[in-house]
Each structure stands twice: as structure tokens, then as C-alpha cells.
Amino acid sequence: MLILASQSPRRRDLLLREGLNFCVISRFAKEQNDAALPAEQLCTQNASAKAEAVASDYPAHIVIGADTLVFLDGKPLGKPTDLADAHRMLSELQGRTHCVCTAVAIIFPDGKRSNFAVTSYVTFRPMSSADIDIYLAEVPVLDKAGAYAMQEKSELIVSDVQGDIDNVIGLPVTRLLQELTR
């Protein structure tokens, strides 16, 4: 059986879109937020911790852990603490290009592991404070890294994406499927 070690509805939707049979089981895993670490290393550590927290209880199953962070000028932007923090993040991102890194950790029943990270680049439109308020009124962002959702009203804030859009949403499905079929 395939286990997604994440409560993210976006990751669940991406796997359902692919027709995969899986269940969702997550456990607490302390996430690192060390801005001194490179994006891929930080996300990979967090993804591994999430997968390990579940795999220890389900050693006969394939467990997938993932972590997505938005990085601006090399600094991670996690989930906003409140709407004021979300407004601050979007203000920093407006008119600029940032990277979105998602790392995936897969633990197989035989103990083998596959870890990888995918990076995409997102450019935001220039936005006024009022534009940001409109976006925040229409999209719930408090559970999303960088305070935005690529799959919800992105036309209001995003002008360009270079790379895998599924990665920006939270799971690089194409690469995941490649790793699972190896």
C-alpha cells in the first residue's frame, strides 16, 4: 500500500488526479526552518522527517513524505502566522521572481530510500496593497507556504512560472511517478 505522510489536501488531490491508490497517515515531525541551509537540503530534511515518522509504524508500505517552501533571496518563507503576515509576504513577493522547492522522500518496504527535490521559479505581478487585500479575501492562505496558492486565483498574482506547476502546488508528480516505477 502507498501512504502519503501529509495532511495537505493539495498533495492528496494531485495523487488522486493520477489515479493512485493510497491512504493518508501523518505523524508529528519537527520541521527545520534553518535559513542558513540551501533550499533543497532544508526541504529534503523536512520531507525525510515526515516520511520517517510514518514509516516506522508501517514498515511494509511505501511511504511518501514531502515538504514545500517558498524562497525569496535565499530565505525560506513558510506558512504565514496570520493575515497581516500573509500580506507582508505577498508584498515582498510582488513584482519579483522567487523559487519554490519541493522535496520528496520515499521509503520503500525493503528500507531503500529515494530522496529528490524539484525547484520551480514563479514571477509575481506588481501588486498594490489593495490588490493583495483582494487576493487575501478570495483565497485562504494561512496553510500555504509563501501565503499563496498556485491552484486558486493565481491569475491575480502570478505572471509567469518556469518549471513544474505541480511542484509549486506541492508535489512534483511526474518525478514522483518516475521514482515509484523504478
Active site residues: 67
Give the strand pairing for 75-77 and 62-72: antiparallel
Distance CA 57, CA 132 (A): 43
Distance CA 150, CA 60 (A): 34
Sign of the alpha-carbon dihedral angle for 82, 84, 88, 93: positive
Hey, what's the cell of 163? 518549471
Measured at the alpha carbon of residue 159, what is the angle toward residues 158 and 163, in degrees to the nearest 5? Answer: 85
Location of C-alpha cell 496570520: 82
